Structure 1
């Protein structure tokens, strides 16, 4: 293929390399130039254009991309994959159904080594996908490639989707004396949600004492196609209660421990031809962990071997899970006087205020933003951070003279999570806890924040302290201990931190506060009018 500028008069039949947008001429790149195109280009005064001219032994990009994609998926039905029509030298490959993608990595590497002009990119090996998900894309880089590259590409069947086939699973929970019922409920619900993602349902759920004999009997009576075990305490050794009970029931252990964190303490085995998975404690959290990697393969009927698990170490360091009893960072010991900072979220767009800025409305003679920030500054806190929109000069002016730190949230329009992420990045390195507060809550005072700080106690697992009204209605602000910092720093969407609270209820303490301050937010003109009337009546 030849590529470069040519006189317009000689460009007919060539492929336009760059889009033209001159006066009335609108020609997209990749277009095969016709006689009419040449006339139009000549009429606007262009003397040359950049084109690609195919050689006799070249194959055009779309034709080449389609042929190459078919070499990777020669039997689309058997592979449970479908191939898109080619466009701009690209062909996408999609999953027909939900499952796990299996990739012949060596074949993909050979494919990409043929020529830099020919590429395929895939999802990671054993990635879980939904129906219709894009799992690979073939791209021919230039406008054409030599026939020898395409016709010489071996048929590899490098891509295959293993659909979910597991229909039922049994869950066995163990309990120790004094174990809260809500922890058992949380465990059951978390595992049920996990397997529902594989189109699998819970066949039976039983709770037995954390004893070898009781657990062994439960394994014998399990009816599901797979058996899942979640013990009250972590499995610490291959001779611990879980593995021993499986052996005693007539089953076998194939693996204890995995190089995936969270998920290290998983054990894997079999009973009566059915897989048995001893779930690690992190399976109580919805966050991704090593058990997910094992379960999704089992759900597709893929054997999980000792070697398979041993090979999971690369990429096996996953996101920290806040409910881990001892996080990776080591001790959570907090001094008697913890260092607590506040994130005052003030980046909202006042969309419900019909043209007004809720934070610049006057409350007791000053903008609400200033009034709220000043109240925070009087609390027993190390520092007050105000998370703001970039370059909002009016809100900036409202904070002049206050001892607060401004943090910019460039992605504030994404929602509250973006402001929390920005704020978490601005915390001091030695901060023990953070209070998340909203700037449009006028009745929250320094006393509310001090009450949250007073209840914070890591040793007693009081690591989320939530303000509630006098009648017990949950609200804001909320204090989070360091255990939750990584999760907060990676929030998405507009739900703020409510899911963090929901998923870590064992660390939650509700802190009663005066009146209704914890739930009063002024984000509409009607709310402002009502608040002002209530204030006037109380004076």
Structure 2
């Protein structure tokens, strides 16, 4: 293609590169200049225009785009008309689009004149969704480039559309003492929504004990009911291929293909099959409608694609589906590094309880929470302001001893108060009063101690970011150099158990009882370990 200024007298058949505005007429770029256009240019006083002129073998942009689209078109994929060197490929039916990334890369590397852009590999699409767009950059593609591109596309399969099949899905729910029915009902609702979204049908769920034999029998009943896909949602997350769910698949005559996946959320998934019927043990996050690794597996199964161990192990790139503080920094590094800012998951609702009901016996007759620091700021004010700087809402201050003075010190701040009438009975009484005030839509509650003013809002947000009941991280605990600290964040389903605590103790011992639900979040300094309960320690309060 010859590009550049061209005398109007020699421009017949050339492509106008830039729009020309003339008195009473506009000749748009891309126009093939004919006799009428040339006469208008001359009448308008133009003697020269910038054009693109074809050389022997050049393929005009629209023809080139059309031919590339033809070479890529497969069943269930439609193409648009070529306009300005562009053709779009569209889905004719709902399904899963599969791309050959290496082939697309090779086409795009042939020559700068020709480009293909697609949706990401394994993208679920609806009818009429755009799958790819072909765009010719200049006004023509050299003939040899076209020949190579068409040959490569016809010898491979750049993209395919696998339609979703209307599968019947069987779901087994297991039960354990202490797990609320609402938790498992959430698993049913989320699963049914996913199945319907892929044009399938959820059979009536089977509920049974969290035992290998009971689950195996439930799987067999669902197979007899016509289930073409079997799912197990355990009351306790699967942690090993020998756990209850996988063992039940084996007992029902099946086999385990793979345990675990490099996708988060979704790590704890187990893939198996029973006589050719896919059977999955779901990760805890499958109880939530939010995107997770289970969705990726489910979409492929509904599209009729095999999901092998190698397929799952290849999902790591792009498999980080959310930003969370999953694991602590190496401890020797964490102590030297500032805590990075973390953004909690959108929609995660966590309330903060600030415990401010105690008698401060070690500083009597003073109330340590009201003793001002060197800047005149009472300690309880510093703690509450840090809680308000976090993403936790609401911030609830639990009062007891000298509650009028505490409330006065916090006047004008956006907090709620929960008064513990029986605060003199010990910490557990104050905790119960605070927990009773937690809103019903809160997913968790962070218990902050009123005498730990060095814990920052950013530290609290790191706990919120690590907290994920759906993935089994129901208790988030801060640590520093291996020592456990405060505040601690608890899942709402643990509140009934926390309400049973008695005496002058908090709920920390419950973390030992639910050790498999604890995620430790290493902090960069020891603020999460330091409380201030004597006059001497108050004088040494940093930042005062």
- The question of whether the paired residues in 2 share the 8 Å contact of 1:195 and 1:201 is answered with yes
Contact kept, 8 Å, 1:174 with 1:208, in 2: the verdict is yes
CA distance in 2, matches of 1:96, 1:13: 38
Shift of 1:145: 1.1
TM normalised by structure 2 equals 0.63
Residues 166 and 300 of structure 1 are in contact (CA less than 8 Å); yes or no, is this contact kept in structure 2?
Answer: no
In the other structure, the counterpart of 1:310 is 313
> 1:277, CA displacement in angstroms?
1.1
Contact kept? 2:394, 2:415, Cα under 8 Å: no
Partner residue of 1:141? 137
| Mapped partners of 1:158, 1:47: distance in 2 | 46
- The equivalent of 2:94 in structure 1 is 98
1:37-436 to 2 correspondence within 5 Å?
37-73=37-73, 76=74, 79-152=75-148, 153-154=150-151, 155=154, 156-222=156-222, 223=225, 224-320=227-323, 328=326, 337=354, 381-382=384-385, 431=390, 433-434=392-393
In structure 2, what is the Cα distance between the partners aligned to 1:275 and 1:336? 45
Q: Paired residue for 2:510?
A: none
Q: CA offsets, 1:284-308, max 9 Å, x none?
A: 1111110011000000111000100
**1:170 to partner: Cα distance:** 0.3
Deviation at 1:47, TM superposition (A): 2.8
d(CA) in 2 for partners of 1:453, 1:259: 44
Q: Within 5 A, what are the aligned runs for 1:506-525? A: none
Conserved in 2, the CA contact under 8 Å of 1:64 and 1:140? yes
In structure 1, what is the Cα distance between the partners aligned to 2:61 and 2:437?
Answer: 57
| CA pair 46-64 structure 1, distance change in 2 beyond 3 A | same
The change in CA–CA distance for 1:47 and 1:137 in structure 2 (over 3 A counts) is same
Separation in structure 1 between the aligned mates of residue 312 and residue 96 of structure 2, nearest angstrom? 16
Structure 1 residue 382 displacement after superposition: 2.1
Q: Distance in 1 between matches of 2:48 and 2:82?
A: 29
Q: Distance in 2 between matches of 1:95 and 1:454?
A: 60
Distance in 2 (CA, whole Å) between partners of 1:285 and 1:121 is 32
User: Which residues of structure 2 form unaligned runs of 5+?
Assistant: 330-343, 345-349, 356-380, 396-409, 421-427, 442-459, 468-490, 497-544
Distance 1:485 1:251, change over 3 A: closer
Q: CA 1:82–1:507 in structure 2 vs 1: closer, same or farther (change >3 Å)?
A: farther
Q: 1:32–1:465: structure 2 CA closer, same or farther, 3 Å change rule?
A: farther
Q: Aligned-pair RMSD on alpha carbons?
A: 3.7
Distance 1:129 1:308 in 2: 20
Distance 1:23 1:465 in 2: 73
Question: Contact (CA 8 Å) 1:61, 1:88: kept in 2 or not?
Answer: yes
Which range moves more in the overlay, 328-337 or 202-211? 328-337
Following the alignment from structure 1 to structure 2, what is the Cα–Cα distance between the partners of residues 16 and 454?
Answer: 79
TM-score by length of 1: 0.64
8 Å CA contact retained: 1:466, 1:508: no
Partner of 1:32: 32
Partner Cα distance (2:494, 2:199) in 1: 31
Structure 1 residues 114 and 195: CA distance shift in structure 2, 3 A: same
State the 1:248 CA deviation: 1.1
Q: For residue 433 of structure 1, give the secondary structure of its aligned residue in structure 2.
A: coil
Change beyond 3 A, Cα 1:336–1:182:
closer
Summarize the Cα distance change of 1:11–1:505 in structure 2 as closer, same or farther, 3 Å threshold. farther
Conservation of the 8 A alpha-carbon contact between 1:100 and 1:126: yes
Deviation of 1:507 (Å)? 9.2
Give deviations 1:503-531, integer Å, cap 9, x for gaps. Answer: x986999xxxxxxxxxxxxxxxxxxxxxx
Distance verdict in 2 for CA 1:88–1:506, change over 3 Å: farther
Is contact 1:98-1:131 (8 Å) kept? yes
SS in 1 for 2:415: helix
Q: In the alignment, is the contact (CA less than 8 A) between 2:352 and 2:392 conserved in 1?
A: no
State the 1:236 CA deviation.
0.8
Determine which structure has more spread, i.e. the larger CA radius of gyration: 2
Structure 1 residue 462: deviation in Å? 6.5
Ranges in structure 1 where 5+ consecutive residues have no aligned partner: 322-326, 339-377, 385-426, 437-444, 469-480, 488-503, 510-539
Q: How far apart are residue 262 of structure 1 and its match?
A: 0.6
Q: How many aligned residue pairs are there?
A: 381
Secondary structure (helix, strand or coil) at the match of 2:250 reads helix
Quote the offset at 1:485 in angstroms.
6.4
Shift of 1:246: 0.8
**CA positional deviation for 1:39:** 2.1
CA distance, structure 2, for counterparts of residue 486 and residue 84 of structure 1? 46
For 2:262 and 2:22, how far apart are their aligned partners in 1? 59
Structure 1 residues 312 and 382: alpha-carbon distance in aligned structure 2, compared to 1, 3 A threshold? same
Q: Does the CA contact (< 8 Å) of 1:117 and 1:142 recur in 2?
A: yes
Deviation at 1:313, TM superposition (A): 0.5
Match of 2:416 among 433, 444, 451: 451
Q: Deviation string for 1:340-386 (max 9, x for gaps)?
A: xxxxxxxxxxxxxxxxxxxxxxxxxxxxxxxxxxxxxx9985289xx
For residue 237 of structure 1, give the secondary structure of its aligned residue in structure 2.
coil
Q: 1:257 to 1:467 in 2, by over 3 A?
A: closer
